[in-house]
Amino acid sequence: MRARAKLFSGVLSWAALSNVLMVVLLMFVPVCAVTILSFSNEPFLHFPPAHWGPRQYVAFFSNSYWTDAVIKSFTIGMPAAILATGIGLPAVFALNRSELPYREALQTLGLSPLIIPGVAYALAMYTFYAQIHLIGNPIGLILSHAILALPFVIIIVGAAVNRIPRELELVAMTLGASRLRAMIGITLRLLLPAIGAAFVFAFITSFDEAVFVNFIGGPGLITLPKAIFNSVLTGIDPLITAVASVLMVCTGIVMMVAVYWRSE
């Protein structure tokens, strides 16, 4: 009996250890390697670097091809995030605060982009957009990114709305506020951190998106992920390590802020 319990806890420790090992090996090590490489001063990839310096970063920031790609990512990501949040927020209110029938089905519909396989969906979008001339058009890309980001808005803001008791609006109304004033002044006000977090998630979803931009971006729309992808295809320019490091650090910081807001 005791031997079996000991064996079981032994197995559990091994499971925990292998989990940690896997995360470290398959995530941290490559990430650290890339970051180390980014500080190499050589014009080719060699690990470990013989010379250290900011050469790759200078090359990155002074190259208009790359800086244009970053700007392009922003011009797609910002509108996509605004659109996703703008649609998701009222949807969450409708799902949570109304008596509409089939609310469950509507919620599943809103979350469906998470479930549909990315490449299949992208191909479907390609054939659809081709009909209405939205290939290579930033509007097409913004729309698809907004749809991809919508589930995150619904999940994050939805969870926050559930934590806000309905009585707050009701009591505000008895105190003289109209229903709209109560919803905006009280509930919306309390939702601001969650809305912020949802916006950031939506933005990052678009910023990091590499599949759709390849299908419907056409030759002209070069966002940062597409630029990285192209670069890897045509041969490895070491400045890519700088791009990757900057991308990871910035995304990491922004996500931490979003997580903090979400936990408010």
Partner 1 sequence: MVGDDQRLPDSGHSLELRQLVKSYGEVEALRGVNLKVRRGEFLTVLGPSGSGKTTILKLVAGFILPTSGRILLDGRDVSHMTPAERAIGMVFQQYALFPHMSVHDNVAYGLKMRRWSKQRQRDRIAEMLELVGLAGLARRLPRELSGGQQQRVALARALAFGPTLLLMDEPLGALDRELRIRMAAELRRIHRELSTTIVYVTHDREEAMTLSDRIAIMHRGELEAVDTPQHLYTRPTSRFVASFFAGHNLIPARLITTNGNQAEVECLKQRVQVEMGASLQVSADAWLAVPSQAIGLERHGDSDLTLTGRTVEALYLGEVVQLTCTVEGVGPVQATLPYRGADRLDVDTELRLHVDTMRVVAVSQTPTHRTGDRGGNA
CB 105 within 8 A of CB 186: no
CA distance 182 to 176: 9
CB of 100 to partner 1, least distance (A): 16
Q: Which is nearer to partner 1, 14 or 260 (CB)?
A: 260
Q: Which is nearer to partner 1, 136 or 193 (CB)?
A: 193
CA distance 83 to 101: 25
Q: Which is nearer to partner 1, 59 or 168 (CB)?
A: 168
CB of 169 to partner 1, least distance (A): 9
Q: Which is nearer to partner 1, 51 or 181 (CB)?
A: 181
CB of 197 to partner 1, least distance (A): 17
CB of 168 to partner 1, least distance (A): 5
Distances (CA, A) of 227 to 73, 181, 224: 10, 46, 5
2: Cα separation from own chain's centroid: 48
- The helix/strand/coil state of 238 is coil
CB of 107 to partner 1, least distance (A): 23
CA distance 233 to 210: 14
Binding site for partner 1 (CB under 8 A): 165, 167-168, 170-179, 186, 189-190
CA distance 183 to 1: 59
Q: Which is nearer to partner 1, 112 or 178 (CB)?
A: 178
